[in-house]
Structure 1
Amino acid sequence: NTFGKGTVQTILEIGRFTSLLGSRSQEDGALKLTIQKFYRVAGGSTQLHGVASDIVLPTLSDLPEFGEGALKNCLPYDEVPKARFTKWSEGRGLFIDELKRRSEVRVQTNPEFHYVMEDMDRLRKRLDENRISLNEDTRKAELNEDKIRKETRAKERLARQDEQMQMIRLTLDNVDKPNLQPILFPGNLAANKKNGSNKTAPEAADDSDSETAPGNDDGTKEPAIDPERDETLNILKDLVDLNRAPTTASTTASPPPPPN
């Protein structure tokens, strides 16, 4: 499910009230107050429960330690009377069971999801231990193990890569043009020139042991591998294909027409 935040907050400046006493100051501070909660049309709140997924993919955030329910002093889940509504799926095929089956087959055979599940096990172990060694040699050994693991995965990705992927930036101005230019990333060009190769291993998104701070992308690196994103696109493609497929005719014989 999603994170499970179903509340709305506002910032209330204390100075708005101390000014009535004749002593308003920027140093008075402010209070963050919860003023509302979100509810879905069926009556249930998104608080703690979030929105349940029809198809669940392995992800590092799929652990009990993540989510609104893991935070201190979180408000409880509750419900209100449901609203009148018509389900969007009524009369429309969503093929949930078939989409789930196809996705499970891909996930089981996708090495990138195997990496994700390995990272989940390592992260779960770290959270359970809740400690980190201050011994320099131990930390160096752990960092070296992480480095070897990432290098091994990079080699495996390169061995699996049949052809160099191209990425194209689409805009409303160029989407209809016949010849679209691929994006050239300076980081990859420099690496290719140095190695004398036209093929580079795709990089993975930061895993549970990454030391890289978020937001450091300067636009010179190719977007990282994201198996959840790619599988989401695969599921969407399956849904489009299933909706385009002709409906199978019923094998039940039609009743004879009534006599005149």
Structure 2
Amino acid sequence: RYHRNLRFFKEWDNEDVMQVYLTALAHVYDPHSDYFNASGSDNFSIGMSLSLFGIGAQLKSEDGYCTIDKLLPGGPAAKSGKIKERDRVVAVAQGDGPFEDVVEMSLNKAVRLIRGAKGSEVRLVLMPASDPTSRQTLALIRDEIKLEDQEAKARIIDMPVGDGKAARVGVIDLPSFYATVDLTGERRNSERRSSTADVARLLKKLEAEKVEGVILDLRRNGGGSLEEAIGITGLFIKSGPVVQAKGPGKDSPVAIEEDRDGGKQLYDGPLILLTSRGTASASEIVAGALQDYGRALIVGDISTHGKGTVQNLNPLTPYVRPATPSATNDPGTLKLTIRKFYRAGGASTQLKGVMPDIVLPSILNVAKDVGERAQENALEWDTLPSTKFDRVNLVAPYLAELLRRSNGRVATNRDFVYVREDIEKFRARQEDKTVSLNERERLQEKETDDTRQKARKQELLARHEPPATVYELTLRLADQPGLPPAVEKTNSSVAKVSAPATGFGTNSASLTPRPVRRDVGLEGDDEELDPPAVDVALEEAEHIMLDYVGLAHKGFVSLAH
């Protein structure tokens, strides 16, 4: 490990040193201002736009070699049929230019050589994993690669509620508020990305499939585009202010950002937002606004992250004079904190975050190094006067009863019992400032942990819980009629699709997938089997949704307690 770290620092060039230095300088003022060199700017654009220009291969550094870790479907590398996972790239050339050796080169630099403008040619010298003694030269035409695994996605869950009936719940997983960011001009002809448009497509699909309620999962969402956060909030309200923003200084004007969709409300049904300590920035704008309006029930960790600041991107090319008239170096981009944002009700989300209506047990609730408060030089919390908006009050009438029912489940649910055990163990380790160097003690600790995990594993494998049917929906599938085959959770925690004999290429509405169990339902005592990972917070949110729907719509059969 020490040798790897040393090699990492030795691979730094002037640009890397400049980025670290200027970012450290920016962090003296606040933790979210950053400097990106040319490579960093490119990576930021990729992360926001969910696309890149290259060959469609995920790379990793292994023993000094740039190694093919994964081929992205539909990319030039996969289409060529000549590149396999585990193959190693040993040299790269641009078009007809000379090859550059990339062995022992930093992965970041090798990736920059392989990426390039759409339609340009890159040549690779490969060391096939099947025959390391041979060399293979391959020419590829770069293309735009969409990072579909980071897009919004959804699932439909049919949950049994007794008497042979099932309630249908929709879940949308939104990893970030992505939108096309073009710092270099190379994306001017690319398809514009919008997380608002993608979430709207998924919502329309969920409504077409007649879900009883929607859970918007923001637990992994660290933020993104402010405009997209406003747009997504607008999908759930008719009109009104979403967020306030104010720059530094007492006399700085307050900007009020409102829903911009002309009074349209795409979804008006029961809504839960699932949050965590990792829910940050733009996610907190959405959560805060929908909570202020009384539009959504917030469920999750004790609070969100607490990043209540706005940054803008400042490409430095217009401000930095080239060293020579022919110089083409990109001086990079400055991401600078310019404003703080405030909820429609006036409170800032800075430091304090958004407090959920229903708090679920979580290790992150007691972690001291998580959240904005753990950042150096974080800005303070403050407030502004509330804006004028119409509260819809869809949560408060049911909150006390929802909280009572949830607390009852959480107190007896076996998975939450495990969570509480882990919390106490984590709390003790967090408070203990010493580490034993006695080998026997460390081995005993490891044996105790292993025994506990093995007992939990066996208990999970032995469960026989009521079945539920799950349908996974990508954006591509959301635009097609009908539902895909149900997803089966297996012993190895790998989702498998029960495809009909005719295949699922057309996603025909006439296909009737076989309902499959969502629980383990295992036979035998093979100790090598692993139970599926349990997302206990999401499962409790699903139960809360059923209660919410049952209370809001008289006559609906709520989940038995």
Q: With the length of structure 1 as denominator, give the TM-score of the two structures.
A: 0.69
For 2:377, the equivalent position in structure 1 comes to 73
- Say if 1:161 and 1:76 are closer, same or farther in 2 by CA, change over 3 A: same
Aligned counterpart for 2:391 among listed residues 87, 93, 98: 87
- Say if 1:154 and 1:107 are closer, same or farther in 2 by CA, change over 3 A: same
- Tell me how far 1:169 sits from its aligned partner: 3.0
- Tell me how far 1:12 sits from its aligned partner: 4.5
Farther off after superposition, 106-115 or 3-12: 3-12
1:169 aligned counterpart, secondary structure: strand
- Tell me how far 1:50 sits from its aligned partner: 1.1
- Say if 1:163 and 1:202 are closer, same or farther in 2 by CA, change over 3 A: farther
* 1:222-249 superposed Cα distances (whole Å, 9 cap, x missing partner): xx20111111111111111111116xxx
1:102 matches 2:405: yes
- Say if 1:188 and 1:81 are closer, same or farther in 2 by CA, change over 3 A: closer
Q: Flag structure 1 segments of 5+ consecutive residues without an equivalent.
A: 204-223, 247-260
- Tell me the distance in 1 between the aligned counterparts of 2:460 and 2:393: 39
1:160 aligned counterpart, secondary structure: coil
- Say if 1:181 and 1:116 are closer, same or farther in 2 by CA, change over 3 A: closer
Q: Which amino acid aligns with 2:537?
A: E
Alignment of 1:178-193 (within 5 A): 180-183=485-488, 185=490, 187=492
Aligned CA-pair RMSD: 3.6
* 1:98-125 superposed Cα distances (whole Å, 9 cap, x missing partner): 0000000000010111111111111112
Contact 1:4–1:49 (8 Å) recurs in 2? yes
1:37 matches 2:346: no
Farther off after superposition, 137-146 or 115-124: 137-146
For 2:282, the equivalent position in structure 1 comes to none
For 1:238, the equivalent position in structure 2 comes to 547
For 2:531, the equivalent position in structure 1 comes to 202
* 1:121-165 superposed Cα distances (whole Å, 9 cap, x missing partner): 111122212443444444333332222111111112233334677
- Tell me the distance in 1 between the aligned counterparts of 2:355 and 2:405: 19
Aligned counterpart for 1:121 among listed residues 424, 428, 431: 424
1:87 aligned counterpart, secondary structure: coil
Contact 1:15–1:28 (8 Å) recurs in 2? yes
1:4 aligned counterpart, secondary structure: coil
1:2 aligned counterpart, secondary structure: coil
1:95 aligned counterpart, secondary structure: helix
Report sequence identity in percent: 34
For 1:51, the equivalent position in structure 2 comes to 354
Q: Which amino acid aligns with 1:202?
A: P
* 1:21-41 superposed Cα distances (whole Å, 9 cap, x missing partner): 879895967654211212111
Contact 2:406–2:544 (8 Å) recurs in 1? yes
- Tell me the distance in 2 between the aligned counterparts of 1:154 and 1:15: 56
Contact 2:491–2:530 (8 Å) recurs in 1? no
For 1:112, the equivalent position in structure 2 comes to 415
2:406 aligned counterpart, secondary structure: helix
- Tell me the distance in 2 between the aligned counterparts of 1:152 and 1:129: 26
1:3 matches 2:305: yes
1:241 aligned counterpart, secondary structure: helix
Contact 1:93–1:243 (8 Å) recurs in 2? no
- Say if 1:231 and 1:194 are closer, same or farther in 2 by CA, change over 3 A: closer
Structure with the higher strand share, 1 or 2: 2
Q: With the length of structure 2 as denominator, give the TM-score of the two structures.
A: 0.34
- Say if 1:25 and 1:132 are closer, same or farther in 2 by CA, change over 3 A: farther
- Tell me the distance in 2 between the aligned counterparts of 1:164 and 1:81: 49
Contact 1:3–1:67 (8 Å) recurs in 2? yes
- Say if 1:93 and 1:76 are closer, same or farther in 2 by CA, change over 3 A: closer
1:152 matches 2:481: no
Q: Which amino acid aligns with 1:106?
A: R
Task: Report how many residues are paired.
Answer: 219
- Tell me how far 1:168 sits from its aligned partner: 3.9
